């Protein structure tokens, strides 16, 4: 039996605007997605902001009722068997909220352990172990109010492991963490996976997905546009080469010129401090370099690099340069 | 429900009680509602009522204390779910296996018991500052009335909290709901002084029966029939609120899951 079985899941949000002339606006956040996750698998949902990742996780964790379609987690229906399922899963949503800031880290864990019906004797042993695991043992008696963002995030991880859930949902767990904190958290996730926990991880960090996930679903505008292993997804771009050009400000006209070139497949821009990296996926490799540089000739350019495509490039190609 | 599940749910009530006490002990708004506001009301009521009749002192002390009880229930108990929503913990609470009603019960129990301090403060003020003679004439019935008061107030809070979550527009009337209950429940003067048409509204409020029982047992006027009526009504209303709130919470949580209003994003 699969740990997760999702069939034709759809979620529409409605919002009403206006007082006298009320109009209802509908947004399709998740649009007819289907996938399954095997027991013990670390499965990734990858997509840009607003792609529908969090909405999907909220439906699978019983916090949101789907508009249509079905989803079973650990064999339980997420709508009709929600109460039974809740004792068996754990989740964290990225960010600092969701903890009691006026309580200490230890008191937060003690409280949540009672909510999850963890036997007090078991909790008394597990709480110090988890605080040690997430590196908060020294600060456990301090109020959460004084914790850094990374510490709060690690406390979330400890909270979600209190009742030893069979399945974990981690929604952008490293968002906003400093590089060291994010690396430590990834190590914790690896350890959990080694314990054969089934994990669904959402992220928009490509290297994170590549390093952790066994399979990935790329989701964009509510739809799954690719589902494969990281290596399989990279094969989507094996016929391409990537030209990275460093620029200092790039107008839309130059991007339009680049996109119009016959050898160019996808163009994306990443902001890095005061400069931008323009990533051009091309079918002709370094042979297309003169045409690309000519399209950017009126700009101040920095380094230029031609390289093999990565998972990130596969992702950019799949989401059409919107990443 | 098995014995083991019941014990686990009771543990949830106890730990929620403990956590809530810890949090409201450092909340200046709550401390104002429990300590300062009843103190102001006590002073005003003592000045108004006791010069003519010093035996009214205990009535003032009980009544002022009850204002603290009601204000705390209205603002702390009433906000017990919406506050979780503001702080982002509501999703964590909903996605765990204990029914939310147990958590709200534990929160209300903590705030109502803590607000009994209002009565202690009013008592201390009247006895120490105004040197008034304060005596509970029927102490045992008074203690039982106080227990039932706590129970009925806590259960009343179970209704208020989900209504505020369901309809934020109702919550905007929170301030306006404070004084009418002081008056309709007869905290500071008997409801016989009010127009006759308001009496049925008083009878529908558990706080009215609580005030009636506490006032009567403190001044010694409570007969067995009077006590049976007040205790019965508190028990009845408490049980009704309890049953109705369970249903209300289930409906509201289902609606919140359908409308995506558990979180604030």
Q: Do B97 and A91 touch (CB under 8 A)?
A: no
Q: Do A117 and B103 touch (CB under 8 A)?
A: no
**Residue B265 domain flag:** no
Q: Do A103 and B23 touch (CB under 8 A)?
A: yes
Q: Do the beta carbons of residue A57 and residue A45 sit within 8 Å?
A: yes
Its CATH architecture, for the domain A39-61+73-234, is 3-Layer(aba) Sandwich (3.40)
Average pLDDT over residues B68-96: 83
- How many whole angstroms separate alpha carbon B94 and alpha carbon A262? 54
Which residue intervals of chain A bear CATH 3.40.50.300?
Answer: 39-61+73-234
**What's the distance, CA A79 to chain centroid?**
23
- How many whole angstroms separate alpha carbon A100 and alpha carbon B22? 11
Q: Do B89 and A62 touch (CB under 8 A)?
A: no
Alpha carbon separation from B209 to A254, B114, B150 (Å, rounded): 78, 21, 12
Question: What is the pLDDT, as a whole number, of residue B3?
Answer: 63
Tell me the CATH number of domain A236-318, given options 3.40.1350.10, 3.30.1180.20, 3.30.70.260, 3.20.20.70.
3.30.70.260
Q: Do B96 and A159 touch (CB under 8 A)?
A: no
**Residue B100 domain flag:** yes
At B2, is the pLDDT very low, low, confident or very high (cuts 50, 70, 90)? low
Distance from CA of B258 to the nearest CA of A (A): 5
- How many whole angstroms separate alpha carbon A256 and alpha carbon B104? 58
Q: Do the beta carbons of residue B216 and residue B126 sit within 8 Å?
A: no
pLDDT digits (tens, 9 = 90+) for B3-59: 677 888 889 999 999 998 888 877 777 777 777 877 888 788 777 776 777 677 888
Q: Do the beta carbons of residue A272 and residue A266 sit within 8 Å?
A: no
Q: What parts of chain A have a pLDDT lower than 70?
A: 320-323
Question: What is the pLDDT, as a whole number, of residue B86?
Answer: 83
Q: Do B95 and A99 touch (CB under 8 A)?
A: no
Which residues does A contribute to its contact with B (CB < 8 Å)? Answer: 13, 58, 61-65, 83, 86-87, 89, 91, 93, 95, 97-103, 107, 110-112, 114-117, 120, 159
* Nearest residue of chain B to residue A55 (CA atoms): B260
End-to-end CA distance of chain A: 34
pLDDT digits (tens, 9 = 90+) for B172-227: 777 788 888 888 988 888 888 888 899 999 998 889 999 999 999 998 888 999 99
Which residue intervals of chain A bear CATH 3.30.70.260?
Answer: 236-318
Our count of domains for chain B comes to: 1
Question: What is the pLDDT, as a whole number, of residue B41?
Answer: 80
pTM, entire model: 0.80
**Residue B12 domain flag:** yes
How many Cα atoms occupy the beta-carbon half-sphere of B97 within 13 Å?
A: 18
Most A CBs within 10 Å, among B101, B260, B262, to test the A interface: B260
Question: What is the pLDDT, as a whole number, of residue A127?
Answer: 95
Q: Do the beta carbons of residue A138 and residue A149 sit within 8 Å?
A: no
Q: Do B8 and A117 touch (CB under 8 A)?
A: yes
Interface predicted TM-score (ipTM): 0.81
A40: left (phi over 0), alpha (psi -120 to 50) or beta: left
**Residue B264 domain flag:** no
pLDDT digits (tens, 9 = 90+) for B144-171: 999 999 999 989 888 888 887 777 677 6
How many Cα atoms occupy the beta-carbon half-sphere of B239 within 13 Å?
A: 5
Compare CB distances from B258 to A65, A107, A110 and report the shortest one's residue. A65
Most A CBs within 10 Å, among B12, B76, B96, B246, to test the A interface: B96
Domain range for B166: 3-259
* Nearest residue of chain A to residue B103 (CA atoms): A115
As a three-state string, the secondary structure of chain B is CCHHHHHHHHHHHHHHHHHHHHHHCCCHHHHHHHHHHHHHHHHHHHHHHCCCCHHHHHHHHHHHHHHHHHHHHHHHHCCHHHHHHHHCCHHHHHCCCCCHHHHHHHHHHHHHHHHCHHHHHHHHHHHHHCCCCCCCCCHHHHHHHHHHHHHHHHHHHHHHHHHHHHCHHHHCCCHHHHHHHHHHCCCCCCHHHCCHHHHHHHHCCHHHHHHHHHHHHHHCCCCHHHHHHHHHHHHHHHHHHHHHHHHHHHHHHHHHHHHCCCCCC
Question: What is the pLDDT, as a whole number, of residue B106?
Answer: 92
At B264, is the pLDDT very low, low, confident or very high (cuts 50, 70, 90)? low
Q: Measured between beta carbons, which residues in chain B are less than 8 angstroms from residue A62?
A: 94-95, 257
At B1, is the pLDDT very low, low, confident or very high (cuts 50, 70, 90)? low
Q: Do A65 and B257 touch (CB under 8 A)?
A: yes
Q: Do A116 and B97 touch (CB under 8 A)?
A: yes
Compare CB distances from A98 to B92, B99, B258 and report the shortest one's residue. B92
């Amino acid at each position: 039996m699969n740990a997760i079985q999702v069939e034709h899941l759809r979620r529409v949000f409605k919002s009403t605007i206006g007082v006298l002339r009320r109009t209802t606006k509908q947004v399709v956040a998740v649009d007819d997605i289907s996938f399954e996750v095997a027991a013990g698998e670390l499965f990734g949902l990858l997509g840009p902001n607003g792609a529908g990742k969090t909405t999907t996780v909220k439906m699978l964790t019983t916090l949101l009722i789907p508009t249509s379609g079905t989803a079973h987690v650990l064999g339980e229906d997420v709508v009709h068997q929600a109460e039974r399922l809740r004792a068996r899963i754990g989740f964290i949503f990225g960010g600092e909220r969701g903890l009691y800031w006026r309580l200490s880290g230890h008191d937060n864990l003690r409280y949540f352990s009672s909510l999850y019906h963890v036997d007090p004797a078991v909790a008394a042993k597990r709480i110090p172990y988890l605080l040690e695991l997430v590196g908060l043992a020294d600060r456990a008696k301090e109020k959460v109010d004084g914790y850094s963002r990374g510490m709060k995030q690690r406390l979330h991880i400890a909270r979600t492991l209190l009742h030893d859930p069979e399945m974990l949902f981690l929604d952008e767990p490293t968002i906003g963490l400093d590089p060291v904190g994010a690396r430590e958290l990834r190590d914790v996730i690896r350890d959990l996976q080694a314990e054969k926990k089934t994990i669904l991880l959402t992220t928009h960090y490509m290297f994170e997905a590549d390093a952790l996930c066994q399979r990935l679903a790329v989701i964009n505008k509510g739809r799954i546009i690719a589902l494969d292993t990281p290596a399989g997804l990279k094969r989507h771009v094996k016929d391409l080469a990537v030209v990275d050009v460093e620029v200092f400000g790039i107008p839309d006209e130059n991007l339009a010129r680049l996109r119009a070139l016959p050898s160019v497949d996808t163009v994306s821009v990443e902001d890095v401090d005061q400069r931008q990296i323009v990533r051009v996926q091309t079918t002709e490799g370094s042979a297309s370099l003169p045409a690309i540089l000519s399209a950017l000739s009126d700009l101040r350019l920095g380094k230029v690099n031609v390289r093999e495509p990565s998972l990130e490039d596969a992702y950019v190609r799949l989401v059409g340069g919107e990443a | 429900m098995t014995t083991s599940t019941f014990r686990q749910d009771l543990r949830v009530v106890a730990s929620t009680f403990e956590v809530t006490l810890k949090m409201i002990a450092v909340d200046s708004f709550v401390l104002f509602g429990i300590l300062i506001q009843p103190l102001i009301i006590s002073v005003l009521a003592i000045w108004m009522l006791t010069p003519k009749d010093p035996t009214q002192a205990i009535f003032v002390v009980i009544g002022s204390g009850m204002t603290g009880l009601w204000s705390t229930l209205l603002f702390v108990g009433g906000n017990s779910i919406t506050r979780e929503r503001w702080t982002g913990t509501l999703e964590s609470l909903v996605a765990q296996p204990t029914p939310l009603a147990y958590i709200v019960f534990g929160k209300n129990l903590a705030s109502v018991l803590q607000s009994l301090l209002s009565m202690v403060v009013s008592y201390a003020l009247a006895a120490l500052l105004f040197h008034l003679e304060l005596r509970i004439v029927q102490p045992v019935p008074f203690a039982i009335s106080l227990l039932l008061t706590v129970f009925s107030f806590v259960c009343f809070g179970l209704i208020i909290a989900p209504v505020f979550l369901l309809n934020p527009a109702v919550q905007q009337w929170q301030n306006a709901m404070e004084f009418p209950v002081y008056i309709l429940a007869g905290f500071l003067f008997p409801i016989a002084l009010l127009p006759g048409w308001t009496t049925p509204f008083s009878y529908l409020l558990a706080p009215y029966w609580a005030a009636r029982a506490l006032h009567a047992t403190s001044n010694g006027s409570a007969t067995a029939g009077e006590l049976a009526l007040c205790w019965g009504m508190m028990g009845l209303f408490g049980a009704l609120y309890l049953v109705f709130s369970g249903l209300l919470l289930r409906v509201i949580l289902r609606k919140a899951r359908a409308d995506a209003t558990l979180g604030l994003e």
